[in-house]
Structure 1
Amino acid sequence: MTDLVQGFKNAFRRHPAGVAIVAAESADGRFGLTVSSVASVSVDPVALVFSVTKSSGSAGQIIGADSFVVHLLGEGQADVADAFARSGEPRFTPEQHWGTLPTGEPLLLDAPVALRSRALDTLTVGRSQLIVAEVLDVHEGPESGPLMYRDRQYFTLADSAAVTRA
């Protein structure tokens, strides 16, 4: 079994993923976390999915919030992604360029895209929670290439050559 688990981990370390920050406002304050599991699910209803590895702390606050914002990060946002990936790091600082939507959720002003969403359903898989969310609003920010994560490092499309198709 250990070979299967290690092989699975190694496979996904080599598979690049987009980087996002999911953030919410609750009665206890602002909460957020970095995820690399965001994917589109449907256009009717407009929905996305992401996973979290526990249902306590920031993840629990986000799951329990009426709504949250999924920020698809761009080039140059590795520092803010790191801050939300590590416990105890400064979050929602002025230097990170946070604002607030009229509906009350935190908004990362420099994110290329921010998707205000609400949870439709959750599915427990082992120790993880899969959150299916309806997208309520799309907020477009400055144009930027995506921030990607592979083998515990951040990359941009500028770091890679485009594949030419015949």
Structure 2
Amino acid sequence: MSQHVTAASSAPAPHLGAPDHRFASSLSAAEFKAVFRGHPGGVAVITADAGDGPVALTATSVASVSAEPPLLIFSVSALSSASDVLSRAETVVVHLLDAHDLEIAQLGATSGVDRFAETHRWSRLVTGEPVYNDVRAWVRCAVIGRMDAGGSTVIAAHALQAQLERDVAAGEHGDALVYHNRTWHRLGDHSRLV
């Protein structure tokens, strides 16, 4: 598996950000952001260490792709302070958060801070990756592919190991944390429609 990961991470990434002249027009950045402000996203924090020290960022772009094999994707802006490390890391830890993890989500979203200064909040797995303690769930993944897309990189990862601290039964809300219209929200019975 590690040979496959190394080969995938060292290969040049396909690029989807070049202008496509087949389309006569395109949404402006402001229009695109306005459309997605009303589309809530689940909140995750991604951590990695490519040998230079740990990095973390908050993301709402995490999505499951396949259960067999267990694959997920997420995107990282080139402007993120974590983008360099995530472009080289062979493994990552994806923390899937709930409302009890709001401080971790805010920490990963705050620019210019040491996200690992509070040593009681995190530890390292035996495999070396940084992991935040007591979050709802985390998944350790091998990076299997990267693709440039505009000013971001889409990263595909194969789930290797997981820990679930707070399980959510089917049909239950579980205090889910979502980001919607530039604010944090907790889903609960009050937000259930049917």
Aligned pair partner of 1:8 in 28, 32, 37? 32
Q: CA deviation at 1:85?
A: 1.3
Q: Does 1:23 align with 2:53?
A: no
User: Which amino acid in 2 is paired with 1:126?
Assistant: G
Q: How many residues get paired?
A: 164
TM-score, normalized by length of structure 2?
Answer: 0.76
Identity %: 34
**Does structure 1 conserve the Cα–Cα contact (< 8 Å) formed by 2:101 and 2:136?**
no
* Aligned match of 1:68: 92
Larger Rg: 2
What is the identity, as a one-letter code, of the residue corresponding to 1:148?
A: V
Distance, in Å, in 1 between the alignment partners of 2:126 and 2:138 is: 14
Over the aligned positions, Cα root-mean-square deviation in angstroms equals 2.1
Q: Is the 8 A contact 1:24 1:62 kept in 2?
A: yes
Q: Tell which deviates more after alignment, 28-37 or 143-152.
A: 143-152
Aligned equivalent of 2:108, options 84, 109, 112 = 84
CA contact (8 A) 2:176 2:186 kept: yes
Structure 1 stretch displaced more, 64-73 or 52-61: 52-61
Tell me the amino acid that sits aligned with residue 61 of structure 1.
Answer: V
Report the CA distance between 1:123 and its aligned residue. 1.2
Amino acid at match of 1:150: H
Amino acid at match of 1:86: T
Residue of structure 1 in register with 2:184 after alignment: 154
Distance 1:10 1:21 in 2: 24
Gaps in structure 2 of 5+ consecutive residues: 1-24, 168-173
Instruction: Give the structure 2 partner of residue 46 of structure 1.
Output: 70
Q: Shift of the alpha carbon at 1:122?
A: 1.1
What is the CA–CA distance in structure 1 between the aligned matches of 2:28 and 2:189, rounded to whole Å?
31
Distance 2:157 2:26 in 1: 33
Quick check: 1:19–1:73 contact (8 Å CA) kept in 2? yes
Paired residue for 1:123?
Answer: 147
Q: For residues 72-121 of structure 1, what are the alpha-carbon distances to aligned partners after superposition, in whole Å with 9 as ceiling and x for unaligned?
A: 11113222212211221231243762122111111111211101011111
